[in-house]
Amino acid sequence: MKLTTKRDELVAKLSIVSRAVSTRTATQSLSGILLTADQEGVSLCATDLELGLKTKLMAEVDSPGSILLPGRLLAEVSRSLGDPSVEIELREAERDVEIRSGGSSFHLRTLPSEDFPAFPEDEGEPLTIPAAALASTVDLVARAASRDDMRPVLTGVLVSASGAEMTMVATDSYRLAVKRTELENAIGGELEANIPAKALRELGRIVSADGVEAVSVALLRNQAIFKAGGIVLNTRLIEGQFPNFRQLLPESYEHDVRLPRSEFLDVVRRVSQLAQRNAPLRLSFAPGELTVAASTPDVGDAEETMPAAFEGEPLEIGFNPDFLREGIESVEGDEVVLRLISPLRPGLLQPVDNEDFRYLVMPIRLNV
């Protein structure tokens, strides 16, 4: 194999696929990036078996072939090159690859490509979704997914799409995010799958960075394949029963408190600085006002009062400061509605007069 490409092109494409390179595996091939050159061009592939990424590399192919190179090292070497042009050539006798650029010359040992997994091929008619709608929905919902592998089903996002509507749901059992999105120009059939949040966040990053207009998704028996521009992302689907989120959402609330979003967010951010070592953030409601307070032994305490359209008997409730802050950040608009029942029941954040996005957060029992 022998090819010539531009240094900037190589660096950009390696930065995409290297995010799927495994850093903790006993299988050496999963730490590599597969370069394949043929009459159709050059492709770069990487996978850790959970997430796979594939993209095209613009290059002049002098001799076709396929090689597997250490992914992280290849990316680092490419970034260090000083000349605009890069030549990559397989030296079969030496069992390595020579990378030439200007006066620089590197020799990288190849990895056993026969152990590199084959990428799945999509079957049937895919569903095409507007990229902007998908990326914005992922950004709001995926943060609520669990990062604890002990409960794999909660590390995913339940994605349902049919016709002109898509719903995403994620929960880590301490909070729940639900977003319904209207789809314009969606093409294809229905979709329902529990997709790893990590893969969706990566897809959102790709879509936002490359200005992609539409994303196609195809489901296999245990895989989802996304195509965004010239990039293909595949991921394993998560097996198991996803919680019935509708049963987790209370049917009614005792208090609906409308708050100015930016002011509420600023207060929460400031006071949360003193909520350390798992200390809760205290929200104390009284007629016409809200006091946000935090206290950490041996560190200090803070409180701040702001106007609030609250009526009725005083109510005090505690929340995880990070979970509450992320919920407020996720609500769009100038105002946010905080819906409450009691100090021991979950609170709900949502936009004013709009249930397309709902963020449920469990309270923390407060010590008197």
Class of the CATH-defined domain 127-245 = alpha beta
Residue type, 353: D
pLDDT band at 184 (very low <50, low <70, confident <90, very high): confident
Boundaries of every domain in the chain: 2-115, 127-245, 249-361
Q: Could you give the CA distance from residue 242 to residue 171 in angstroms, rounded to a whole number?
A: 9
Q: Check for a shared fold between 2-115 and 127-245.
A: yes
- Residue 110's contacts (CB-CB under 8 Å, 6 or more residues apart) are 67, 68, 69, 90, 95, 96, 97
Across the range 291-319, mean pLDDT stands at: 97
Name the burial class of residue 210, with classes exposed (0-12), middle (13-18) and buried (19+) by CB atoms within 10 angstroms of its CB: middle
The CATH fold assigned to 2-115 is: DNA Polymerase III; Chain A, domain 2 (3.10.150)
When the candidates are 3.40.50.740, 3.40.1160.10, 3.40.50.2000, 3.10.150.10, the CATH number that belongs to 249-361 is 3.10.150.10
Q: 162 pLDDT exceeds 90?
A: no
Q: From 204, 205, 331, 320, select the one nearest 264 (Cα to Cα).
A: 331
Decide: 233 and 215 in contact? Cβ < 8 Å: no
pLDDT 10s digits, 67-107: 999 999 999 999 999 999 999 999 999 999 999 999 999 99
pLDDT 10s digits, 226-245: 999 999 999 999 999 999 99
Q: Residues of the chain with pLDDT > 90: what percent?
A: 88
Six-digit token string for 361:
């957060």
Q: Could you give the CA distance from residue 98 to residue 205 in angstroms, rounded to a whole number?
A: 32
Alpha helices in the chain (DSSP H): 7-17, 71-80, 131-141, 197-210, 245-248, 261-272, 321-330
Average pLDDT, the chain: 95
Residue pointed to by tokens 């079969």? 92
pLDDT band at 324 (very low <50, low <70, confident <90, very high): very high
Residue 88, beta-bridge partner list: 3, 99
Rounded to the nearest 5 degrees, what angle is found at the Cα of 351, between the Cα atoms of 289 and 331?
Answer: 95
pLDDT 10s digits, 340-351: 999 999 999 999
